[in-house]
Structure 1
Amino acid sequence: MITIVDYKVGNLGSIQNMLKKIGTNSIITSNPDDIAKADKLILPGVGAFDSGINSLKEHNMWNVLNDRVKKDKIPVLGICLGMQLLCNGSEEGKESGLGWIDADVVRFRPKDKKFKIPHMGWNYVETQKESALFNNMYENPKFYFVHTFYAKANDDSGIGQSSYEVTFDSVLEKENILGTQFHPEKSHKFGMKLLENFIRYY
């Protein structure tokens, strides 16, 4: 069973609908007991970094998430803000992130005015190394982005990159911990294939 973590910062129905299309059952939950029984986790999210971190703590999810992901090593996929929360911290806020991946989240500061912020719309992802997340992926994979901040990996966890004036890490992977800056649930066949691969291979 896929468990979609509901910490009150995002529309989770579209993720569940995409999972239904690929024949996968899931639950949306704020209950720490459900998270404790999860086989795989999806940590979505939109909005501000500190609000996301504080919401995880306020809903008593912080400790159980750390236990399941760091101790029990179950697979987790962070999406958009959810991926940023996996990192050390963000220029957007003052709170520390989960710190599961050694990466820092920084703001786009475009010099060319044609690069509007937030970065919104379709963009390509170029894989930096082999990953089961991209098994049998369609050619020239592109995904849907909406974000003002992006991750900079400090190690080799950046497995996919995209460009928007600067080149940034749009996919992170470290052992059982994965993240996408884009929204696979809004990315048609490319996002569907990526979610299929997460379910099948992790």
Structure 2
Amino acid sequence: MSRTLLTIIDYGMGNLHSVAKALEHVAPNTQIEVTSDKHRIAEADHILLPGVGAIRDCMAEIRRQGVDTVVAEAVNSGKPFLGICVGMQALMAHSHENNGVDCLGHFDGEVRRFSTTATDERGLALKVPHMGWNTVDLQIDHPLLQGINSGDRFYFVHSYYVEAHPEYTAASCTYDATFAAMIYRDNLFATQFHPEKSFPAGLTLLKNFVDWDGRR
């Protein structure tokens, strides 16, 4: 019997191997591949889109390599699909980063920058990027959130955030603004934080993703 195949889309922008190692840890019986091969991605049972860096560079590579088509086909297939960090932002309609960049449009929403003049409750300046551990507030029940509680901590590194809209926000977080820490729709799920760096809750989410059938 063949093993479940999970592909991590390699378009040159992401912590690919750290994500792969985390998945191998939580799902030793799953075949994990980091690949740019469109045929292997199409054959996969689960698909993951990572991303780090500037959205302009990420979207340029996504379009140059035809990853936009790969993602659209994956979304339409109904297979479980997970975006991480900039991989989540790339799923939105538009980002204000780099003077404005159109993204993939699988979610109708905007990506905005944290204010550089914001302060915390003690009046101290909030540093941008938002980097380090922060708590999330769950908004829904979802298979990927089994074993995860409101108030659990995850590891963030980002200067831009997805506006929190109730229709697709699975969990929110507050740092200057209240933003979407996780988003969802049908077979799509995405996180602003890095689950591979967010032990133990992040590894729980990755294990849930491997076990997910793409339905709620």
Confirm or deny a common fold (TM above 0.5): yes
Shift of 1:100: 0.8
Of 89, 92, 97 in structure 1, the residue corresponding to residue 97 of structure 2 is: 92
* Equivalent residue, structure 2, for 1:6: 10
Of 194, 202, 209 in structure 2, the residue corresponding to residue 183 of structure 1 is: 194
Of 50, 66, 74 in structure 2, the residue corresponding to residue 44 of structure 1 is: 50
In the alignment, structure 1 residue 161 sits paired with structure 2 residue 166: no
Task: State the Cα deviation string for residues 121-169 of structure 1 (Å, max 9, x = none).
Answer: 0001110111111112257311000000000144510110011122111
Structure with bigger gyration radius: 2
RMSD: 1.5
Which shows bigger deviation, 7-16 or 90-99? 90-99
Please give the secondary structure, in 2, of the residue aligned with 1:88.
Answer: strand
Q: Are the counterparts in 2 of residues 119 and 145 from structure 1 also a CA contact under 8 Å? A: yes
Shift of 1:89: 1.0
Runs (4+) of structure 1 exceeding 4 A deviation are: none
In the alignment, structure 1 residue 131 sits paired with structure 2 residue 142: yes
Q: Are the counterparts in 2 of residues 2 and 27 from structure 1 also a CA contact under 8 Å? A: yes
Q: Are the counterparts in 2 of residues 158 and 171 from structure 1 also a CA contact under 8 Å? A: yes
Please give the secondary structure, in 2, of the residue aligned with 1:99.
Answer: coil
TM-score, normalised with respect to structure 1: 0.94
Q: 1:166 to 1:87 in 2, by over 3 A?
A: same
Q: Which runs of 5+ in 1 are unaligned?
A: none
Q: Are the counterparts in 1 of residues 92 and 105 from structure 2 also a CA contact under 8 Å? A: yes
How many Å separate the matches in 2 of 1:97 and 1:153?
17
Q: 1:103 to 1:153 in 2, by over 3 A?
A: farther
Once the two structures are aligned, what percentage of the paired residues are identical?
A: 37
Q: Are the counterparts in 1 of residues 138 and 149 from structure 2 also a CA contact under 8 Å? A: no
* Equivalent residue, structure 1, for 2:118: 111
Q: How many residues align?
A: 201
In the alignment, structure 1 residue 15 sits paired with structure 2 residue 19: yes
Please give the secondary structure, in 2, of the residue aligned with 1:13.
Answer: helix
| 2:90 alignment partner AA | L
Task: State the Cα deviation string for residues 8-50 of structure 1 (Å, max 9, x = none).
Answer: 0122111111111112321000111222212111100100111
Please give the secondary structure, in 1, of the residue aligned with 2:134.
Answer: strand
Q: Are the counterparts in 2 of residues 89 and 97 from structure 1 also a CA contact under 8 Å? A: yes
Q: Which runs of 5+ in 2 are unaligned?
A: none
